[in-house]
Copies of this chain bind each other. A is one copy, B any other.
Amino acid sequence: VRYEGPVYPVNPREEYILGYKVYPSIAEVPDPVELAVIVVPAKVVAEQVEACGKRGVKGAIIVSGGFRETGPEGAAREEEIRRIAREYGVRVIGPNCIGTIDAHTPLNTTFVVGMPRPGDIAFLSQSGAMAAAVMDWAAGSGVGFSRIVSLGNMVDVTTGEMLAQIGADGRTRVVTGYMEGVEDGRTFVREAGRVSREMPVVFLKGGRGTSGAKAITSHTGAMAGDLEAYRAAFRRAGVLWANTMEDLFDWGRALAWQPLPRGNRVAILTNAGGPAILAADALEEAGMRLAPLTPDTKAFLRRRVFAAASVENPVDVLAGAGPATYAVCLDALLTDETVDAVVVIQAPQDWFKPASLAEVVGEVANSPLGQQKPVLTAIMGVATASDATQILHARRIPNYQFPERVGSTLAAMWQRCTWLDQAGAEPPPERPGGISADDARRAVEAAQGWLAPDRTEALLRAYGIPVPGSGLAPDVEGAVVLADKLGYPVALKLAAEGVTHKTEVGGVALNIRSAEQMRAEWDAMMRRAAERDPGAVVQGGYVQQMLRGAVELIVGVVRDPQFGPLVMAGTGGTRVEVTRDVAFDLAPLSGRQASDLLEQTSAGKMLEGFRGAPPADRDAAVDVIVRLAQIMLDVPEIAEIEINPLMVMPQGEGAAAVDARVRVAEAAAAPPQAAART
């Protein structure tokens, strides 16, 4: 099968290429041209794009390398191409890509030989090498593809846009992809979120290593890396996070070929104990569990297997059982209402050909009954099982060489099912009420760097985030007056410019119970501060009501350059960077999303009331998270904001920001996408 439309080689020197008449320039090509594939030296690419534009060609794929990836000169060439493409309305894929393959048309603009079997899996990649690897893998494993697209430097068409286009092509049932970075994170989240509602999207993110040193200020800033932002973006958009190339391939074919499980209960049908135990381990570690099976099913199986066989899940028919036994048992397991998915395992044996087992499993799994629930197989072996794999793949049953691979695969399918039911079905978060934007704007007006405590408090109050009663005392006597007004016990905190981690300089004294104790603590604190940080400009002491909370949380937001405000929540305290018991999501957040965030950390359990403690006011904590995220969306001047601890009181008594810090970006550093979003 090959492309049957017209092809016009353009080259100034040749007359015929592969039997096609060559034209000296694109301008001289006679017929309407839909797509130009440009493979010329980097420095003449721009003029060829312009020639295409003048000729009315609306699409171009630039295969040539030698652009941004080689340095500033190449980057300048890329800018020139972008300008020309915009001017003439030419949509460009690349440069520095291998082009695109459409197995249905069919069309292959790449230099890679061969065309994958037509199928319904798409692969979208920044890297051309990964696209070539996928083609090779597809050729060897009997897996069909709809499209394979390599995007390269993305001078024009980005991952998000291509994803939307593939989602609408009518041929594709699952989109897999490889990305290193994303040009426009918010577009990716939006488009991927749309496509995810229609079909599974699975991406592998390359470049997960820790990036170089960065200016670390708050705990949130220290813990919120690129990877956390990508993970949050994927989760928000319903994009399944593949950890490896194997995940991409293994999940992709299961998602394309098999229905989603309606629950997480899996039955295993096997002829050997060991591999079934490994599959069960992998399933359990991935969050699935073994189906209990009904007494009816067990009784049915009992009459059809050897006496020594196990009819408890994993159902072990033993090594002497053949394809017929598998067929009957698989049918019974698919009928069992406690079973959401079935895994069929065959350890290598010498009684029958694995191909025969592949045939019967393929037949049962494609029956009307079998099409209701996913069936995955692990017909093991390299030497004996390749026929079986080809048969199974032709019948759209994914086969895995190693039984453990079914674990993450079924878990990914189940994750998609729950995403569709919950997050995917949820309307976008509503803006919380009771916000005074004017007050917020006043709080950050003309500020730069860390916001003073009184302004911080005003900002939080403007967004309806409770703070304990407090005040700034310039001297010790002022502190005593304030404490009398607030009522003992109080806390005393150092108010000094540039000191963000007060505990480190001994700038926090808790549980002060009398005026006398206040005087002693004030003197000691000022002495310590002068000693440990002689450069600090001390403004006085901040006196605050002591709250007896149930649980201490940390809640913070930083501005990610790709994805915008990145929200962090988890268990609070001074040790947060050691325990790292935190989770991340993108703003804005609904109440349910904020609650999920807490559930991902042990804060979820703590809030329930742990070891006899009363349950804490989870709703109040959730409300603070939602509002903090909203501040960052509304006030682009703020670079980061952190509450630690957020003291959560017993149920019904609310939550309060005991300590908070807000950093306002230097004017020049305000990221453009932040301003655009207001």
Contact = CB atoms under 8 A, between A and B. Distances in A.
Interface string A380-403: 111111000000000000000011
B180 A246 contact: no
A5 interface: no
B244 A610 contact: no
Nearest to A511: B511
A178 interface: yes
A605 B579 CA distance: 10
A140 B382 CA distance: 5
B133 A180 contact: no
Interface residues of A, number: 80
A350 interface: yes
Contacts of A275: 127, 129-130, 133
Contacts of A277: 180, 206-207
A152 to B, nearest CB: 11
A498 to B, nearest CB: 16
Interface in A137-184: 137, 139-141, 178, 180
Interface stretch (A195-203, A478-486, A500-508, A619-627): A500-508
A70 interface: yes
A118 B470 CA distance: 79
A215 interface: no
A13 interface: no
Contacts of A506: 612
Contacts of A140: 381-383
Nearest to A578: B602
Given A70-B308, A206-B274, A383 B136 contact: yes
A612 B505 contact: yes
Interface string A189-211: 00000000000000010111110
A139 B348 CA distance: 12
A126 interface: yes
Contacts of A611: 501, 503-504, 574-575
Given A274-B206, A282-B244, A350-B112, A605 B578 contact: yes
A578 B274 CA distance: 32
B274 A125 contact: yes
Contacts of A281: 206-209
A66 interface: yes
Given A245-B278, A284-B210, A271 B129 contact: yes
Copies of this chain per assembly? 2
A285 B208 contact: yes
A349 interface: yes
A209 B245 contact: no
Which of A129, A381, A532 has the largest number of chain B CB atoms within 10 A? A129
Interface in A306-338: 307-308, 319
Contacts of A66: 308
Contacts of A129: 271-275, 319, 347-348
A381 B114 CA distance: 14
A650 to B, nearest CB: 15
Nearest to A71: B308
A38 interface: no
A135 interface: yes
Contact of A575 (B139, B244, B610): B610
A546 to B, nearest CB: 15
B128 A382 contact: no
A380 to B, nearest CB: 5
Contacts of A271: 129
Contacts of A447: none
A475 interface: no
Which of A180, A307, A308 has the largest number of chain B CB atoms within 10 A? A308
Nearest to A180: B277
B348 A136 contact: yes
B209 A402 contact: no
A274 B578 CA distance: 32
Nearest to A133: B380
Contacts of A206: 274, 277-278, 281
A295 to B, nearest CB: 20
Nearest to A150: B274
A404 B244 contact: yes
A579 B581 contact: yes
Contacts of A385: 136
A51 interface: no
Contact of A128 (B114, B243, B272, B403): B272
A238 interface: no
B381 A137 contact: yes
Contacts of A571: 579
A348 B112 contact: yes
A606 interface: yes
A508 to B, nearest CB: 11
A384 B310 CA distance: 42
A360 interface: no
A410 interface: no
Nearest to A132: B348
A113 interface: yes
A531 interface: no
Contact of A606 (B137, B350, B578): B578
A38 B126 CA distance: 60
29 contacts: A65-B308, A69-B308, A112-B348, A112-B350, A114-B383, A125-B274, A128-B272, A129-B319, A130-B347, A133-B380, A135-B348, A136-B348, A136-B383, A139-B382, A140-B381, A140-B383, A178-B274, A206-B278, A208-B281, A208-B285, A209-B281, A210-B284, A244-B404, A245-B403, A246-B404, A503-B611, A574-B610, A578-B610, A579-B579
Which 4 A-B pairs give the minimum distances between C-beta atoms? A140-B382, A129-B272, A127-B274, A129-B347
